[in-house]
């Protein structure tokens, strides 16, 4: 409950923030670089003298949206493939596990460079600038992070599908879809939720890498991951610079995790405690 | 008047009627600096002074270990295959050239007995031959003597296309012959005023014939000594792990007295520049770190109460924004940025001028480069006699706006200027590199204030600088409106640096974008000046021609110089490295020592 | 069972071939140039760069390059590095021991932290210990290793001056050598191990919680079995399935290295070889490393499947 409030607060801050805190995100003032928190700059400034509060608010929209959406993509794809592979007893299962192994083996950096090279101009034309880039980032991050989820879900399914309560359902004539949705999946969600929370943090960080490679938002767009990355070399000179993005990612992770826990408790058929 | 006097004086020095110190004094009197005066003499064919590097140790060895940190580790140790300065630096520990460039841009004899000059008969008046005399008694690390045969072999080895040597260009357009065991003659196909390229500096390192003779041409990759160098250098090879570590030990038979000072040498690779600076300046784990491309603010902070300091060496490296003279958005015969098109916005000189006014070089210096940069209006920033005094730069958003108004670009409803329904929008690309992204942000902000919408793009360096014909993101394709990077000056002569912008060198699809003139700028006066300078043997006239070339580039705003960059290294407080902005960091390694 | 393993191994060959083909195509299509460092050097005209490309076969059609690679691989020839101009297997073997040592130790550390902490936290959900463990876990995976690595360096090397932060091969032997090897590995192993432990702890705790609530555990308790025995014999074995999955996912990394951590501490491992080769477009090296990595991924997937059957005999394989 508290966590849902926390996440809502965070989202409200980045959505309403710009209307309250009307400082530009890109105003450069070299003289006022690396200042600690003050009245003029509540979160301080970075080395170019840009206001960190404004940048955190602006970046939070992108980071939260990318983190949540990419997590949903990876969890959805991973669960789907894992469930299919876990239920199948034939070629489909092998095929899907081969696909998972392939994606696990792919070196990500060359893959991303290839995607940029082959598809960037085409994607820009199809999706248009802003929205297109967002969809692209979410698909790329989600598309490269679903494999652990798939393996976890498959392992759970292999075990659960032989359990008595599933056999009972099968004997009662439940269709495979019903077996999965009503009986197996709710019991396999534990690791999925953990993987989901980890993915949010990972996606926020991964987004900053993508914009570095020219695949994401332009390099001057401040996002939480990007601000944290820029701050790393100034950790001993201006610790405030790293503190705020690091803290924000942490709060988002905690909030999402508790929501996930709550979700599972609500779905869990075997709730005992 | 001044020119004639000067020429007379150079002749006086040549013929021994005037002593070189007196010449330098007179030059200083008329406002030149000492290095510049020396340069004039050097190019004029006068023997150059000996190495000015102070060297205190009075015996060989005893200096303990020397620990170097290169954040990109050398990946190979054959100087003819070096793909980057890191490889040259690693090779240079074991291999040596005839001469290297010192801090003032003079030649410092290493394996040569003396530097060729007109006086000693080493240089011919027509600038077509050079005679080098080798130091007698120099031995390879395996005890075999080094002779003129080795030099002839290096020329044959590098100039053979099948060897796939990176140094092939250094050794083409000339022939090398043996006169006797310790003398060689280089003959150029055409007059070459800048004769000190082959066998000099980083690409001039000499490998032993007796170990590489069997591996010339197609078999070059199989040579076992590609990984186990046997050279003449101050340190002997112990161990090499590509990309990670080089270890060497003192060469007890080194050919220079009392050198080297250190007993062992270690060059560790990998990591990033900031932590390399920390390991030298803050914790003292290492003695020296290479190429510390770090915000000056960070360096200043590390230096406070630290164990080391940053060192700066002035060369001619220039960080600049280049302007595309052709249209990157129109495709002609399967090629964008085709020479058959004109840039719809930037072909107007007023817009280019406005852009130059919008690059706030002071802020870039203050926020990013600090001591490691000098603001400049010139593309050509050294050596001093080639530096134009006729140019200037300023930062003014008002003047830029006024120029854009004059050119017919009026602010639209969104604050972005437009003309004939076309928005003033530019794509600004560069390679991925912290300081470059910050510079982009500073330039973009000023442009926005003047009503120019700038879209930033950054490309991974290995893609941006690749020669991949199919990739549109390379600097040579230049499918953007403006782009920014650095071009280094690898030797104290502007010939190679300036030839780039000759109109015959324009990058096109036809030459697979291999033409180095990527702004696709064509100017007849410039072409004439550079062509004339290539064979001009009179040093003063030659310098004037290059200054003219620089001024033409400035007038036309072909490039907007952002920063004249200095080489930055980190050194422990006790280490006395011999560094030069005109050479690689290890080029004078034999002169390094530790103050006790 | 052995028949099953044999069949899986037979399937592995075509599937690895397929993976190698996809890997090769991705690497060949990824843009870049092993000789890009030469680009701005005025001493090296672009023709030289282009001639080098042609000489190393980079301009040949992809299918031809793949067939060359495959033919060589069958003969045990791993290829030839463009950048270092040496054989790829030499490069990899030079770096393998360091990676096995550092990344292996950190995986071990992660397990040693995650399993006891996760199990203990699950037996006392929402206790103070559980809350603390969770908070640290959240911090652990919220902060990327590029950040914690620098933080560790600042604290343990710069401020306290306890540990070196440049990992280098120490000459010598004996006890002092051993101590130095341990000393310089402490920080990278901690950074990597704690990052892994953070997520692993969460998985272990969740897996334990899933099982602890089941009826048969309650039954076991009701039978009067001791708490420790119940946990170890009944709960852990059943909770191990997700944990085994995760470990199987992580094991190939012991070979593949950890790119970011290796960069920060200058560890000459496979990860730093991989990233510098990728950035330099040294395709033969990247191909060799990723292909070995792929083999390990497939192998450990198989091992995990076998272990599932052992942990839960009801899982049947046909």
Main-chain dihedrals φ then ψ at residue B192, nearest 5 degrees: -130, 95
Q: pLDDT category, A160, cuts 50, 70, 90?
A: confident
Q: What is the mean pLDDT of chain A?
A: 81
A211-260 pLDDT tens trace: 666 667 777 788 888 888 888 888 888 888 888 888 888 888 888 877 87
3-state secondary structure of B456: strand
Chains with at least 3 CB pairs less than 8 angstroms from chain B: A, C
Contact residues, chain A, for B425 at CB < 8 Å: none
Please name the member of A94, A107, A257 whose beta carbon is closest to the beta carbon of C286.
A107
Please name the member of C141, C147, C297 whose beta carbon is closest to the beta carbon of A232.
C147
Q: Do A162 and C314 lie within an 8 Å CB cutoff?
A: yes
Q: Do A213 and B460 lie within an 8 Å CB cutoff?
A: yes
Q: pLDDT category, A273, cuts 50, 70, 90?
A: very low
Distance from CA of C168 to the nearest CA of B (A): 7
Give Rg (Cα) of chain C. 24
Please name the member of A98, A114, A270 whose beta carbon is closest to the beta carbon of C213.
A270
C306-311 average pLDDT score? 85
Token pair of B7 as six digits? 């020429």
Contact residues, chain A, for C62 at CB < 8 Å: none
Q: Do C30 and A110 lie within an 8 Å CB cutoff?
A: yes
How far, in Å, CA of C161 to CA of C157, rounded? Answer: 4
Q: Do C86 and B226 lie within an 8 Å CB cutoff?
A: yes
Q: Do B440 and A213 lie within an 8 Å CB cutoff?
A: no
Distance from CA of B164 to the nearest CA of A (A): 26
Distance from CA of C188 to the nearest CA of A (A): 17
* N- to C-terminal Cα separation, chain C: 9
What distance lies between CA C210 and its chain's CA centroid? 27
- Tell me the domains of chain C and their CATH numbers: 2-74 (no CATH), 90-311 (1.10.3720.10)
- Chain A residues within 8 angstroms (CB to CB) of chain B: 26-28, 30, 33-34, 47-48, 113, 117, 212-214, 218-220, 230, 233-234, 236-237
Chains with at least 3 CB pairs less than 8 angstroms from chain A: B, C
Element housing B245 (H / E): strand B245-250
In a mutagenesis test of the A interface, which of C17, C62, C123, C141 is the best target, namely the one with the most A β-carbons within 10 Å? C141
Q: Is the pLDDT of residue B559 over 90?
A: yes
In angstroms, what CA-CA distances link C230 with C126, C217, C235, C240, C243?
20, 7, 7, 14, 19
Do A60 and A14 form a contact (C-beta atoms < 8 A)?
Answer: yes
Do A28 and B441 form a contact (C-beta atoms < 8 A)?
Answer: yes
> What share of chain C in percent tops pLDDT 90?
11
Distance from CA of B292 to the nearest CA of C (A): 15
On the 0-12 / 13-18 / 19+ scale of CB atoms within 10 A, A172 is exposed
Asked if C203 is an interface residue toward chain B (Cβ–Cβ < 8 A), one would say no
Please name the member of A117, A202, A273 whose beta carbon is closest to the beta carbon of C29.
A117
The pLDDT, as a whole number, for residue A113 is: 77
How far, in Å, CA of B193 to CA of B386, rounded? Answer: 14
Least confident of B44-53, B63-72, B317-326, C146-155: B44-53
On the 0-12 / 13-18 / 19+ scale of CB atoms within 10 A, B70 is buried
Query: Looking at chain C, which residue has its C-alpha nearest residue B74?
Result: C84
Distance from CA of B295 to the nearest CA of A (A): 9
Distance from CA of B315 to the nearest CA of C (A): 14
In a mutagenesis test of the C interface, which of A164, A190, A197 is the best target, namely the one with the most C β-carbons within 10 Å? A190
On the 0-12 / 13-18 / 19+ scale of CB atoms within 10 A, C173 is exposed
> What share of chain B in percent tops pLDDT 90?
54
Q: Is the pLDDT of residue A272 over 50?
A: no
Asked if A186 is an interface residue toward chain C (Cβ–Cβ < 8 A), one would say no
Query: Looking at chain A, which residue has its C-alpha nearest residue B298?
Result: A234
Residue of C244, C234, C231, C224 lying closest to C122 (CA atoms): C231
The pLDDT, as a whole number, for residue A156 is: 87
According to DSSP, the residues that pair with B575 across neighbouring strands are: B594
Contact residues, chain A, for B367 at CB < 8 Å: 28, 30, 33, 47-48
Query: Looking at chain B, which residue has its C-alpha nearest residue A238?
Result: B298
How far, in Å, CA of C310 to CA of C318, rounded? Answer: 15
Q: Do B457 and A214 lie within an 8 Å CB cutoff?
A: yes
A167-186 pLDDT tens trace: 888 888 888 888 887 778 88
Asked if C280 is an interface residue toward chain B (Cβ–Cβ < 8 A), one would say yes
B171-188 average pLDDT score? 93
Q: Do A212 and B297 lie within an 8 Å CB cutoff?
A: no
The string of DSSP codes covering B320-368 is EEEE--S-TT--BTTBSS-TTS--TTTTSHHHHHHHHHT--HHHHIIII
Q: Do B473 and A117 lie within an 8 Å CB cutoff?
A: yes
Query: Looking at chain A, which residue has its C-alpha nearest residue B456?
Result: A218
The pLDDT, as a whole number, for residue C42 is: 65
Q: What is the mean pLDDT of chain B?
A: 88
Cβ neighbours of residue A130 closer than 8 Å, sequence gap 6 or more: none
Q: Do B441 and A26 lie within an 8 Å CB cutoff?
A: yes
Contacts within 8 Å (CB) and 24+ apart, C52-56:
C52/B164, C52/B166, C53/B467, C53/B468, C55/B164, C56/C82
In angstroms, what CA-CA distances link B252 with B150, B261, B265?
22, 11, 14
Query: Looking at chain A, which residue has its C-alpha nearest residue C24?
Result: A106
Q: Do C276 and B512 lie within an 8 Å CB cutoff?
A: no
Give residues 70 to 99 of C whose Cβ lies within 8 Å of A: none
Please name the member of B432, B441, B459 whose beta carbon is closest to the beta carbon of A220.
B441
Q: Is the pLDDT of residue B191 over 70?
A: yes
B51-75 average pLDDT score? 86
Q: pLDDT category, B202, cuts 50, 70, 90?
A: confident
Q: pLDDT category, B52, cuts 50, 70, 90?
A: low
Query: Alpha helices, DSSP H only, in chain C?
Result: 2-29, 46-55, 62-74, 88-123, 128-142, 145-152, 174-212, 215-222, 227-229, 237-256, 259-265, 270-279, 283-311
Q: Do B297 and A214 lie within an 8 Å CB cutoff?
A: no
Q: Do B83 and C83 lie within an 8 Å CB cutoff?
A: yes
Do B308 and B577 form a contact (C-beta atoms < 8 A)?
Answer: no
Distance from CA of C167 to the nearest CA of B (A): 9
B236-263 average pLDDT score? 93
Burial A196-227 (b: 16+ CB within 10 A, else e): bbbbbbbbbbbbbbbbbbbbbbbbbbbbbbbb
Token pair of B100 as six digits? 């290297």
Distance from CA of B237 to the nearest CA of C (A): 15
Q: Do C141 and A198 lie within an 8 Å CB cutoff?
A: yes
Q: Is C244 left (phi over 0), alpha (psi -120 to 50) or beta?
A: alpha
Query: Looking at chain B, which residue has its C-alpha nearest residue C37?
Result: B84
Q: Is the pLDDT of residue B141 over 50?
A: yes
What is the reported pTM? 0.84
- The ipTM estimated for the assembled molecules is 0.83
Residue contacts between B and C (CB atoms, under 8 Å): 182
Cβ neighbours of residue C85 closer than 8 Å, sequence gap 6 or more: B76, B78, B81, B221, B226
Distance from CA of B405 to the nearest CA of C (A): 37
Q: pLDDT category, B42, cuts 50, 70, 90?
A: low
How far, in Å, CA of B374 to CA of C179, rounded? Answer: 47
Q: Do A250 and C206 lie within an 8 Å CB cutoff?
A: no
Element housing B541 (H / E): helix B539-556
Asked if B445 is an interface residue toward chain A (Cβ–Cβ < 8 A), one would say yes
According to DSSP, the residues that pair with B245 across neighbouring strands are: B241, B268
Contact residues, chain C, for B97 at CB < 8 Å: none
Q: Is the pLDDT of residue B395 over 70?
A: yes
Q: Do B221 and C84 lie within an 8 Å CB cutoff?
A: no
A39-46 average pLDDT score? 81
Sheet holding B129-133, edge to edge: B129-133, B183-188, B174-180
A14-42 pLDDT tens trace: 777 777 777 777 777 777 777 778 877 88
Q: Do B440 and A236 lie within an 8 Å CB cutoff?
A: no
């Amino acid at each position: 409950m508290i966590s849902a409030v926390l996440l809502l607060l965070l989202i409200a801050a980045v959505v309403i923030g710009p209307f309250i805190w009307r400082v530009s995100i890109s105003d450069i003032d070299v003289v006022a670089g690396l200042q600690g928190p003050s009245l003029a700059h509540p979160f301080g400034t970075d080395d170019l003298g840009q206001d960190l509060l404004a940048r955190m608010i602006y970046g939070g929209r992108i980071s939260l949206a990318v983190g949540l959406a990419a997590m949903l993509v990876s969890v959805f794809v991973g669960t789907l493939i894992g469930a299919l592979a876990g239920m199948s007893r034939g070629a489909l299962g092998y095929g899907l596990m081969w696909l998972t192994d392939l994606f696990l083996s792919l070196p990500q950096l060359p893959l991303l460079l290839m995607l940029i090279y082959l598809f960037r101009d085409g994607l820009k034309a199809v999706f248009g600038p802003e929205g297109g880039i967002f969809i692209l980032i979410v698909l790329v991050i989600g598309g490269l992070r679903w494999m652990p989820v798939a393996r976890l879900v498959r392992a759970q399914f292999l075990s659960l599908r032989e359990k008595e309560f599933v056999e009972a359902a099968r004997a009662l004539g439940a269709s495979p879809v019903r077996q999965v949705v009503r009986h197996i999946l709710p019991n396999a969600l534990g690791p999925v939720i953990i993987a989901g929370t980890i993915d949010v943090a990972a996606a926020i960080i991964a987004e900053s890498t993508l914009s570095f490679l020219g695949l994401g938002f332009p390099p001057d767009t401040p996002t939480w991951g990007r601000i944290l990355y820029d701050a790393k070399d100034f950790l001993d000179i201006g610790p405030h610079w790293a503190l705020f993005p690091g803290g924000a990612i942490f709060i988002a992770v905690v909030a999402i995790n508790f929501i996930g826990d709550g979700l599972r408790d609500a779905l869990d058929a075997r709730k005992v405690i | 008047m001044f020119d004639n006097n000067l020429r007379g004086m150079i002749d006086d020095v040549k013929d021994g009627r005037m002593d070189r110190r007196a010449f330098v004094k007179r030059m200083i009197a008329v406002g030149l600096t000492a290095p510049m005066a020396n340069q004039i003499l050097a190019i004029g064919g006068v023997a150059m002074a000996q190495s000015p590097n102070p060297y205190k140790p009075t015996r060989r060895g005893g200096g303990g270990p020397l620990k170097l940190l290169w954040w990109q580790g050398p990946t190979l140790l054959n100087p003819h295959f070096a793909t980057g300065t890191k490889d040259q630096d690693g090779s240079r520990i074991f291999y040596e050239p005839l001469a290297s460039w010192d801090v003032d841009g003079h030649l410092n004899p290493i394996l040569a007995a003396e530097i060729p000059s007109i006086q000693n008969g080493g240089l011919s008046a027509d600038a077509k031959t050079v005679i080098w005399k080798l130091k007698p008694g120099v031995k390879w690390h395996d005890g075999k003597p080094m002779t003129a045969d080795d030099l002839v072999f290096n020329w044959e080895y590098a100039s053979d296309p099948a060897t796939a040597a990176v140094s092939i260009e250094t050794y083409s357009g000339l022939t090398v012959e043996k006169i006797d065991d310790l003398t060689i003659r280089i003959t150029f196909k055409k007059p070459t005023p800048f004769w000190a390229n082959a066998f000099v500096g980083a690409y001039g390192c000499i490998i032993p014939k007796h170990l590489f003779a069997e591996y010339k041409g197609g078999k070059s990759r199989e040579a076992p000594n590609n990984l186990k160098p046997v050279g003449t250098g101050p340190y002997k090879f112990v161990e090499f792990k590509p990309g990670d570590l080089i270890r060497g030990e003192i060469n007890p038979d080194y050919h220079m007295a009392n050198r080297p000072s250190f007993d062992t040498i270690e060059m560790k690779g990998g990591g990033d520049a900031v932590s390399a600076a920390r390991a030298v300046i803050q914790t003292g784990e290492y003695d020296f770190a290479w190429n510390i491309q770090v915000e000056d603010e960070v360096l200043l902070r590390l230096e406070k109460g630290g164990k080391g300091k940053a060192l700066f060496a002035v060369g001619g490296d220039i960080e600049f924004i280049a302007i595309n003279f052709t249209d990157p958005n129109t495709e002609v015969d399967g090629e964008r940025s085709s020479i058959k098109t004109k840039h719809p916005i930037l072909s107007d000189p007023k817009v280019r001028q406005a852009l130059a006014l919008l690059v706030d070089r002071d802020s870039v210096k203050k926020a990013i480069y600090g001591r490691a940069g000098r603001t400049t209006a010139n593309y050509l920033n050294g050596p001093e006699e080639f530096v134009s005094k006729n140019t200037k730069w300023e930062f003014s958003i008002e003047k830029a706006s006024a120029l854009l108004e004059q050119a017919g670009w009026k602010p639209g409803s969104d604050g972005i200027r437009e003309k004939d329904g076309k928005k003033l929008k530019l794509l600004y690309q560069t390679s991925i590199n912290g300081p470059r992204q910050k510079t982009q942000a500073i330039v973009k902000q000023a442009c926005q204030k003047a009503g120019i919408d700038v879209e930033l793009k950054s490309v991974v360096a290995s893609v941006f600088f690749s020669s991949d014909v199919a990739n549109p993101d390379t600097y040579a394709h230049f499918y953007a409106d403006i782009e920014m990077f650095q071009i280094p000056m690898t030797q104290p002569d502007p010939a190679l640096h300036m030839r780039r912008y000759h109109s015959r060198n324009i990058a096109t699809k036809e030459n697979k974008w291999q033409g180095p003139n990527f702004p696709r700028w064509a100017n007849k006066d410039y072409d004439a000046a550079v062509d004339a300078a290539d064979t001009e043997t009179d040093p003063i006239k030659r310098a004037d021609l290059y200054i003219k070339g620089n001024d033409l580039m400035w007038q036309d705003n072909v490039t907007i110089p952002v920063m004249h960059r200095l080489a930055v290294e980190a050194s422990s407080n006790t280490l006395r490295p011999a560094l030069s902005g005109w050479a690689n960091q290890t080029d004078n390694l034999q002169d390094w020592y530790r103050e006790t | 069972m052995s028949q099953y393993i044999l069949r899986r191994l037979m399937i592995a060959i075509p599937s690895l071939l397929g993976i190698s083909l996809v890997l090769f195509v991705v690497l060949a299509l990824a843009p870049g140039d092993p000789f890009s460092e030469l680009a701005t050097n005025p001493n090296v005209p672009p023709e030289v760069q282009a001639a080098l490309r042609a000489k190393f076969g980079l301009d040949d059609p992809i299918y031809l390059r793949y067939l060359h690679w495959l033919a060589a691989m069958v003969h045990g020839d791993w290829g030839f590095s463009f950048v270092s101009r040496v054989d790829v297997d030499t490069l990899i073997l030079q770096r393998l021991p360091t990676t096995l040592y550092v990344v292996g130790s950190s995986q071990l550390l992660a397990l040693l932290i995650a399993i006891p902490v996760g199990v203990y936290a699950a037996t006392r959900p929402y206790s103070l210990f559980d809350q603390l463990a969770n908070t640290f876990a959240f911090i652990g995976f919220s902060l990327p290793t590029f950040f914690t690595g620098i933080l560790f360096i600042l604290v343990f090397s710069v401020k306290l001056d306890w540990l070196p932060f440049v990992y280098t091969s120490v000459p010598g032997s004996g006890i002092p050598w051993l101590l130095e090897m341990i000393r310089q590995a402490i920080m990278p192993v901690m950074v990597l191990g704690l990052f892994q432990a953070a997520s692993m702890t969460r998985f272990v705790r969740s897996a334990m919680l899933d099982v602890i609530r089941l009826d048969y555990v309650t039954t076991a308790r009701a039978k009067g079995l001791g708490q420790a025995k119940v946990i170890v014999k009944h709960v852990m074995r059943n909770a191990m399935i997700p944990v085994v999955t995760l470990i199987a996912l992580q094991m190939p990394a012991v070979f593949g290295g950890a790119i970011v951590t290796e960069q920060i501490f200058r560890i000459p491992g496979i990860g730093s070889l991989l990233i510098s080769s990728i950035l330099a477009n040294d395709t033969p090296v990247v191909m060799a490393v990723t292909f070995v990595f792929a083999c390990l991924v497939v192998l450990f997937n198989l091992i995990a499947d076998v272990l599932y059957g052992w942990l839960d005999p009801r899982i049947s394989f046909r």
